Amino acid sequence: MALSSRLTSRADQCGGRPCVRGMRILVSDVLDPFAAGITPDDILAEMPDLEPDDLRACLSYAARRACHTVLVTA
């Protein structure tokens, strides 16, 4: 399974925000603990429905979003 296919966005679920494998676990629910310095093992222990590839998919999503070019005009 490709990492990108582990993330879903549906208008009728969580307001269309990206979730992990159709569950109501938002990508941001996974990224926030990473940003707070929580280890992957601790995140997986805290959210037992997640798998290691789900964490990688969320990080990959964040990396792609960070590289998204936005043109700013003055």
Distance CA 31, CA 15 (A): 18
This prediction's pTM: 0.83
Judge whether 32 lies within some domain. Answer: yes
Lowest mean pLDDT among 8-17, 29-38, 45-54, 59-68: 59-68
Judge whether 39 lies within some domain. Answer: yes
Give strand ranges (E) for 1-74: 7-8, 19-20
Which residue range is the domain that position 9 belongs to?
Answer: 3-66
Look up tokens 């582990």; give the residue.
6
Judge whether 73 lies within some domain. Answer: no
Judge whether 71 lies within some domain. Answer: no
Distance CA 65, CA 39 (A): 22
Judge whether 74 lies within some domain. Answer: no
The number of distinct structural domains making up the chain is 1
pLDDT digits (tens, 9 = 90+) for 50-74: 999 999 999 999 998 888 776 677 6
